[in-house]
Amino acid sequence: MANTFLSQPGWNLRGVTRKPSSVTAVRWQNKGIETVYRDMDQPASMRRALKGATAVFGVTDFWQHIKNPEAHRQADEWEGVANEIAFRREIEEGKVRI
C-alpha cells in the first residue's frame, strides 16, 4: 500500500515504528517515507506520531508477541496457551489511544 501512495502525487507518507534506525525503517526512509518513533506503552508518543495525519493505516506484528518468552510464562501461569496471550497483547496494541 505504501508503494502505491508513494507513486501518487500529493501524498506525504509517515511510518510509525518502535525502531526508526532498523533496516526496514531505513529502507522506507530511502524511498521517501518519514519515520517517527512510537512506543506502544506511551499513548503520548502516538499523538505526536499522528499529528497532522489525514489518514492512518495500521499494521501490527503478531509474531513479536508469540516469540516473547513472557507470553509463554504467562500462559503457563494461567494454564492457557501463548497464542491467547499474544492475541490479547496484539488487540491492545492495535487500539489507537490518542
Q: What is the pLDDT of residues 17-63, one digit of tens each?
A: 888 899 999 999 999 999 988 876 777 887 888 888 887 777 777 77
Q: Which H or E run contains 35?
A: strand 34-37
Find cell 502525487 and name the residue: 9
pLDDT band at 92 (very low <50, low <70, confident <90, very high): confident
Dihedral over Cα of 33, 98, 21, 88: its sign? negative
- Tell me which amino acid residue 39 is: D
Domain ranges of the chain: 1-57, 60-98
Residues sharing a CB contact under 8 Å with residue 9, sequence separation 6 or more, in sequence order: none
- Residue 10 CA: distances (Å) to CA of 15, 19, 70: 17, 27, 43
